C-alpha cells in the first residue's frame, strides 16, 4: 500500500447538547499520515438523522473525491446520536469506511442512552448493522468495504504523532479550535 494514500478523516466539534441544534463536522484530506491536502466541512443536526446524507453530499462534491481511498470516522455518530450508516456511506461514495475508537465502547450503556433520542431503535439498528467491533493494533474498529489486513496497514501509515490516526486527530483539532477559539488537543 502506498504511504501517501488519500484518506478523509472526519470528526465533529464540541457542542452543547442542551442548547445547540447543529454541530460543525470537519473532514481533513490527508496523504497517508504526513500531509494535509484539504479541508471540508458541513453541519449536522444534534441527535438528528442527517449525518449519512450530509457526508455523502460533502464527499461527492469535493474536488478531492477522485483521489480518496478511505473514509475514517471518529466514532459511529456525529453530534451526539446522529448515527452514520457506514454501509450506505461506503456504497454511495464508493469509498471504504472505517470507524476508529480508542476504547471499546460500552454498548449496553449506549443502548440505554439511545432510547432517549428520537428514532432511537432505528439508530441502534445502524450501530448493529455496522458490524462487529474488532481490535486492530491499539484501536477498536468497525468497517465497510475494506478488510482487516488493509485496515492494519492504514493504521500503521496514519498513526504518526500518537495513537489516533492523523486525519482524525487533525480534524478534531480544527473542529474544536473553530468552535472554542482554541483546540484542546485530545482527539
Cell of residue 184, nine digits: 484542546
pLDDT, position 187: 65
> Domain map of the chain by residue range?
6-180
The pTM of the full predicted model, rounded to 2 decimals, is: 0.95
pLDDT, position 83: 98
pLDDT, position 161: 85
pLDDT, position 4: 87
pLDDT tens across the length of the chain (187 residues) = 778 899 999 999 999 989 999 999 999 999 988 999 999 999 999 999 999 999 999 999 999 999 999 999 999 999 999 999 999 999 999 999 999 999 999 999 999 999 999 999 999 999 999 999 999 999 999 999 999 999 999 999 999 888 999 999 999 999 999 998 888 766 6
Grid look-up 494535509 returns: 36
pLDDT, position 149: 97
pLDDT, position 186: 65
Tell me the CATH number for domain 6-180. Answer: 3.30.2170.10
| 3-class SS shares of the chain: helix, strand, coil, % to 5 | 35, 30, 35
Distance CA 99, CA 185 (A): 20
Helix or strand holding residue 54 (H, E): helix 51-61
pLDDT in tens, 86-99: 999 999 999 999 99
pLDDT, position 2: 78
What is the three-class DSSP state of 150? helix
Cell of residue 16, nine digits: 452543547
pLDDT, position 182: 87
Close Cβ partners of 109 (under 8 Å, ≥ 6 residues apart):
none
pLDDT, position 185: 65
pLDDT, position 15: 95
Amino acid at each position: 500500500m502506498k504511504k501517501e494514500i488519500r484518506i478523509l478523516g472526519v470528526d465533529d466539534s464540541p457542542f452543547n447538547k442542551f442548547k445547540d441544534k447543529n454541530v460543525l463536522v470537519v473532514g481533513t484530506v490527508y496523504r497517508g499520515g504526513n500531509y494535509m491536502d484539504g479541508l471540508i466541512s458541513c453541519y449536522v443536526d444534534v441527535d438528528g438523522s442527517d449525518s449519512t446524507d450530509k457526508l455523502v453530499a460533502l464527499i461527492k462534491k469535493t474536488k478531492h473525491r477522485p483521489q480518496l481511498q478511505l473514509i475514517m470516522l471518529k466514532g459511529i455518530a456525529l453530534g451526539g446520536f446522529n448515527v452514520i450508516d457506514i454501509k450506505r456511506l461506503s456504497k454511495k461514495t464508493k469509498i471504504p469506511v472505517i470507524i476508529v475508537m480508542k476504547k471499546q465502547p460500552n454498548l449496553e450503556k449506549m443502548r440505554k442512552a439511545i432510547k432517549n433520542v428520537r428514532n432511537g431503535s432505528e439508530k441502534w439498528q445502524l450501530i448493529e448493522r455496522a458490524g462487529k467491533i474488532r481490535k486492530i493494533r491499539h484501536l477498536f474498529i468497525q468497517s465497510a468495504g475494506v478488510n482487516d489486513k488493509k485496515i492494519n496497514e492504514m493504521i500503521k501509515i496514519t498513526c504518526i504523532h500518537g495513537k489516533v490516526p492523523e486525519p482524525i486527530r487533525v480534524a478534531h483539532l480544527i473542529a474544536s479550535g473553530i468552535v472554542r477559539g482554541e483546540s484542546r488537543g485530545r482527539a
